[in-house]
Amino acid sequence: MFENGTVLHFQDISTQGGSDVKFFRPQGSGDSYLIFANMKDNSGNTAVLSKVYKWVNGRFVEHGPGLNCRGASGLALFRVNNRNFLAISSYYDSVNRNYQSKSVTFEWRNDQFVLLSEITTNGATGVEYFMLDGDHILLFVNSRSSPGLYKWNAGTFVLHQDVPITNAKSVKEFLLNNEAFLVSTTSEGSSHLWKWDRNTSNFQFYTNVTEYGAQDIQPITIQDSVNHNLTLLAVAMETTSESRFLQLAMVSAQADFIPRNGQLIFNNGDTELSFYVTIFNDSISEPDETFTVALSNATGGSVIGPNGNLEVNILSNGNPYGRIEFAMASAYIVVEERSRDWVLHLEVLREQGNYGEVIVAWNSTGNASESGSHGDDDVYPASGEIVFMEGETRKTINLTIVADDVPEVNEVFQV
């Protein structure tokens, strides 16, 4: 219990490989309950009962028969049409020695949970309930096959989609700008976002989450007086000493920062506050860019000073206009003079950037034989220009090698 900002030990409750716990208060009832999911006993036997405890006279006491679900790994409480339900996911059936086992749903009737249905799952690490376009959804996080998304239909849950996630560890649902997403973690440490496609009524891959080594990700929504709802992902990291919060934002592919607004609250005695703006690290070729941060709407008798606007410069990434050079295959070429004129193609590359229009002049020099004599008419044209339009990375210089009847030794020219 809480006392003076600390948590005090209150009661011990015996569990068997406890994997999840939920607080439950039936609709229309003043009674309170705790539900514990038990996964296995000390010998590894998963045929153990999960338990319900009722708050009686200032303590939680065991209530009703146990809930039968082998290898219980997760709990989800939900309501449908003013009826109370409980879903329990099953990770492993030690009796049949199989990860393919029976997850279960129960309905609260007559002051206890009564079995409603069994759903075959495959190494389910948890279960999530959420609403989606007005439908009641259960998502069983199968780790040894694709997680199964089930819709409530005529009093039971029916499989709607196998979400194509491999080796799933956790999957959570959240809303962003009225769009439904799933965020998933896997046993390999990768994390992904999946977006609900209303045209196909399926979750489809959306993007990778940048954090690698996530043990679990929990979406949270913070009520903000300026930004209204701010959605963050709380990431529990397995491989580093610190966990992180990630901010979700929908921006264009050309964006270099996340636009935002907010509120700074100076309490009595405060003279300095700070906030952050996220700058993207990308490889898009572009010149220096700027954006402005402005202070406004000061209250409490304060005013905005002359330095109330700040200009931030985002420097170009390297050389956005590119580096021009010959391709390796065109750097040194040996050819023979032929019986008729022919065209030699030299490939020119624009690397490390392709922003804007670039014009490059070229000319051929030397054109001298090893004996020192010159043959100015052996190659033409002798000069020219190539133009790279924005986004172009390859161009070709075409040189005509002239055939003649004059006996000559090796000749060398440079471009």
Q: Give the global pTM.
A: 0.70
For residues 354 and 207, state if they share a domain.
Answer: no
Question: Cβ of 141: how many Cβ atoms within 10 Å?
Answer: 26
Flag whether 169 is in a domain. Answer: yes
pLDDT tens figures, 157-171: 999 999 999 999 999
The long-range contacts involving 199-203, CB below 8 angstroms and separated by at least 24 positions, are 201/160, 201/161, 202/161, 203/149, 203/161, 203/163
- Choosing from 247, 278, 298, the residue where a domain stops is 247
Asked if 37 and 19 count as a contact pair (C-beta separation under 8 A), the reply is yes
**What's the domain range around 349?**
323-414
Flag whether 272 is in a domain. Answer: no
pLDDT tens figures, 108-147: 999 999 999 999 999 999 999 999 999 999 999 999 999 9
Q: Between these two residues, 335 and 312, which has the higher pLDDT value? A: 312
For residues 24 and 148, state if they share a domain.
Answer: yes
Select from 76, 96, 73, 74 the least CA-distant residue to 84: 76
> Widest CA span of the chain, in angstroms?
115
- Choosing from 220, 247, 274, the residue where a domain stops is 247
CA–CA separation, 46 and 19 (whole Å): 12
Instruction: State how many domains the chain has.
Output: 2
pLDDT beyond 50 at 321: yes
pLDDT beyond 80 at 358: yes
pLDDT beyond 50 at 369: no
- Choosing from 200, 226, 247, the residue where a domain stops is 247
For residues 210 and 69, state if they share a domain.
Answer: yes
Q: Which of 78-87, 153-162, 260-269 has the lowest mean pLDDT?
A: 260-269
The model's confidence at residue 318, banded by pLDDT at 50, 70 and 90, is low
For residues 97 and 191, state if they share a domain.
Answer: yes
For residues 228 and 130, state if they share a domain.
Answer: yes
pLDDT, residue 372, reads 44
For residues 74 and 188, state if they share a domain.
Answer: yes
Query: Residue 76's beta-bridge partner residues?
Result: 87
pLDDT, residue 149, reads 98
For residues 58 and 169, state if they share a domain.
Answer: yes
